[in-house]
Amino acid sequence: MVESADGWLAVSLPRPWDWDAAPAWLEGAVEDWAAVEQASARRPSVELLERAELLGLAVAAVDDEVGPCPSPTAVTGSLAGVTVVDLTSLWAGPLCGFLLAIRGARVLKVESATRRDGARTGDPELYESLNDHKELVVLDLGTGPGRRELDRVLAAADVVLEASRPRALGAFGWDPARAWASGCAAWVSITGYGRSSDRVAFGDDAAAGAGLVRWLDGRPGFLGDALADPVAGMTAAAAVLDGLTRGGQHLHDVSLVGAARAVRS
């Protein structure tokens, strides 16, 4: 949590290039969190949020506005015979895929050969618990054969899970419309603020942006570890189950912030 000149911000800088961008964000040398706090205290929240969005940094105002979030109903039944292609990484998307796998779906976890799931660098038990029920498919997406294999895998999917900005998969020629034409029943996007936003978010800042915080002596604190991730993963899985039960083809637009807000309310 970082205090700006007029409020509180939740800031996540988990990637090496986030720290590379921090000096441009705060317009000065930034070597550690103390420097982030000092520079942020001199600037209004709106300025920090706008600059962070331009640089692709995960920064949220505590209790910020939320993105879309479905409100699925409880459903039962097996997913035997359903093929899920899981293109996600880290926590929220993989949890959704895991929940569908234990309901009987065949889940293919697709990873890029040059950019593996970032969760592999963390707690191995978390990665294994989320992905042990899946079939791993590693593709070199920078080659023709790798892209053709991705086409083959996605064309056979009943459910697609992805956590990318729309233009990212569009570069490979895939979007919900093409999936519908291939017979897909559910396209699930799990992003920070919804498909219409380019804002970056991780579980901690998204939870704070939704107001899932505790207050002590006028200072907000996190309620748990990246709470928006498991909440969004469970929300997405429930939405898929609901859509498959009702039939038809569905685009499920799940935002980390929206899912966390739904829990808070």
Same domain, 118 and 156: yes
Note whether 201 and 171 are same-domain residues: no
Following CA atoms 26, 32, 37, 43 in sequence, which dihedral angle do they give, to the nearest 10 degrees?
Answer: -10
What is the per-residue pLDDT for 67?
A: 57
Kindly compute the dihedral angle of the four CA atoms of residues 110, 113, 119, 167, in this order, to the nearest 10 degrees: -70
The answer to whether position 119 is within a domain reads yes
Measured CA to CA, the distance from residue 53 to residue 265 in angstroms comes to: 26
Closest CA to 161 of 115, 120, 109: 109
Mean pLDDT, the chain cut into blocks of 10 residues (265 residues total): 95 93 94 95 96 95 65 63 94 95 96 85 86 93 92 96 84 90 95 92 94 91 92 96 94 96 82
Question: How many of the other CB atoms lie within 10 Å of CB of 152?
Answer: 9
Tokens for 161?
């899970």
Q: How far apart are the first and last CA of the chain?
A: 22
Residue 109 and residue 14 share a domain: no
Domain of 39 in residue numbering reads as 2-66+197-224
In 3D, which of 83, 80, 134 has the Cα closest to residue 104?
80
Question: Quick one: 124 and 251 in the same domain?
Answer: yes
Q: Give the amino acid at 67.
A: G
149 and 244 belong to one structural domain: yes
pLDDT at res. 75:
47
Q: Which pLDDT belongs to residue 74? A: 45
Domain total of the chain: 2
Identify whether residues 141 and 152 lie together within a single domain: yes
pLDDT at residue number 149: 95
What pLDDT is recorded for position 172?
A: 85
Residue 185 and residue 156 in one domain: yes
Based on the fold, state whether residues 143 and 220 are members of the same structural domain.
Answer: no
- Selection from 68, 31, 24, 37 nearest residue 197 by Cα: 68
Query: 131 and 210, same structural domain?
Result: no
